[in-house]
Amino acid sequence: MLGQATRDQTALKKPGLRQVLRDTWYVFWREMLLPLRDPFSLVFSLLQPLVFLALFGPLLGSAVGAPAFGGQSTLQWFLPGVVVMIALFGTSMTGSNLQYELMTGSYERILATPLSRSSLMIGRALKEWAPLVVQGMLIAIVCVPFGFTFYPLHVVFGLIILGIFGIGLGALSYSLALVSQSKEWIFWAVQQTLLFPLMILSGIMLPIETGPDWMQVASRFNPLTYLVNAERELFAGSIGLDTLYGLVAAVVTAVIGLAVGIRTISRSTS
């Protein structure tokens, strides 16, 4: 009863920007404590993208041919897609950690605190994004001896855009976990069903220009396509329309994700 009363009082107060930022930091730091206590997991997570770059990259160049990469080297074209893929997998699974807290009851204890509801989603999504900054920078540096041209400021800007997108995607993942809390398998079914078509139609793995017309048309309705194009432009050391479109897609995703997430939390605690 006390926890319910506290939640009701908190819901009546609309948090200001300062409180949201402060609460987001608390949630972010709480979530970051686990990987910081086990840094080996962060190091191990670098192996998968490096394997993709080392094994899939050469096959990609041989199978598709250089003209499909717009004059860029295979590595320069493929590495940004790998970074987007890491962000996509990480932030889309934000809800999986929430499912564990729902089963153990710790989520109810968090709701009893005066934390703003939006900070619960933003903090978790940023926790998935923070290691990406380190991973993206390290992968780019490792690839320099193999022909990758490293533009630090452009890469950082690209990772910031990914962070904005990750907030929206993480909030949607959070919402999905709340909606499917009584049937956890629904979360994984929806996540996996949507994840791979979006990834393939964005041209992460292969140039979408080499696909049939219907795939190229479908890709234009995929927000991830604009994000991937923006990352490739930035990692190539340029800033243009693709970067602008990618930033707009990231912001729109963040706005929609937070709106859906806050509404879902409000309904689940009412």
Tens digits of per-residue pLDDT, 114-127? 888 778 778 877 87
Choose among 191, 196, 260, 259: nearest CA to 224.
196
Across all residues in the chain, what is the average pLDDT? 81
Kindly tell me if the per-residue pLDDT of 2 is higher than 80.
no
The winner for highest mean pLDDT among 22-36, 45-59, 127-141, 243-257 is 243-257
Q: What is the pTM of this model?
A: 0.81
Residue 69 confidence class, pLDDT cut points 50, 70, 90 = low
Distance CA 83, CA 147 (A): 17
Kindly tell me if the per-residue pLDDT of 44 is higher than 60.
yes
Q: Which long-range contacts (CB under 8 A, 24 or more apart) does 1-5 make?
A: 2/112, 3/108, 3/109, 3/111, 3/112
For range 217-227, the mean pLDDT: 92
**Contact present, 110 and 23 (Cβ < 8 Å):** no
- Predicted confidence at residue 71, as pLDDT, reads 60
Choose among 121, 93, 92: nearest CA to 107.
121
Kindly tell me if the per-residue pLDDT of 108 is higher than 80.
no
Choose among 239, 199, 207, 205: nearest CA to 223.
199
- Predicted confidence at residue 68, as pLDDT, reads 55
**Contact present, 249 and 164 (Cβ < 8 Å):** no
Residue 141 confidence class, pLDDT cut points 50, 70, 90 = confident
Q: In the structure encoding, which two tokens stand for residue 148, read together?
A: 């990758």
- Predicted confidence at residue 5, as pLDDT, reads 45
- Predicted confidence at residue 221, as pLDDT, reads 92
Q: In the structure encoding, which two tokens stand for residue 257, read together?
A: 């994700």
Choose among 179, 220, 189, 184: nearest CA to 203.
220
Q: Give Dmax over CA atoms of the chain in angstroms.
A: 66
